[in-house]
Amino acid sequence: MGDRNRTLTTYVGDMHALEQHMLEAFEAQLKLTQDTPNAHAVVQQLVTATNNHITALEQRVQALGHPEKTMTDTIKTAVAGLFGIAAGAIDAVRPQQVSKALRDSYTALNHATIAYIMLQTTGIALNDQETADLAERHLSDCVANAQAIAAIMPTLVVKDLSDDVGNVAGGSADKVTSNEKLRHLYRGLDSTSVGR
């Protein structure tokens, strides 16, 4: 296998490892959000999209024909495991609030967004349109999923504050999401276009 395919496979493998790590966090949030229907629906969409991404990335790695995939995955799984332990330690010392959990998911989606921009650019630069197209589709999903989290975040924060503090100003979430200057941030999730 030439340097081109090895490089492409490395970048696709990096995304595969990242998506697997994200899936673990998203699946853990399913239980946390089960009493918060709007958050649970978004987390379920994150799980579905991420599973679909993992499958597509695995297929792309196979198509590129990387003979060292198993060793690469073993190393990346070990590294992801270390990050998982660190994340677990953080979770153990702070209250499990739905808003904070989804804030962490939003952060992970932004990491994936920039990584997919890198993968798309790599595909185009190395004349691999299939990889570039896959990255573009997954990039679009990441942006849509981050917007879905942003759309419900004000409501989640108000709920968590109400649970923790008690009395909060009425209409707070609506004041945030109706801000005309930032309205584009709060577009909701279109589940028909996410997770292809």
Report pLDDT digits (tens) over 67-84: 555 435 544 554 555 455
- C-alpha 169/C-alpha 138 separation (Å) is 38
What mean pLDDT is predicted for residues 28-41? 94
Q: Tokens in use for 85?
A: 């332990």
On the CB side of 173, how many CA atoms lie within 13 Å of its CA?
15
Can you list the domains of the chain with their CATH numbers? 3-186 (1.20.1260.10)
- 172 φ/ψ angles, rounded to the nearest 5 degrees: -60, -45
Report pLDDT digits (tens) over 105-141: 999 999 999 999 999 999 999 999 999 999 999 999 9
Please give the model's pTM, rounded to 2 decimal places. Answer: 0.80
CA angle 146, 151, 155 (to 5 degrees): 125
User: Which of 159 and 51 is assigned the larger pLDDT?
Assistant: 51
The whole-chain average pLDDT of the chain stands at: 82
- C-alpha 178/C-alpha 186 separation (Å) is 9
pLDDT of residue 114: 95
What mean pLDDT is predicted for residues 183-190? 61
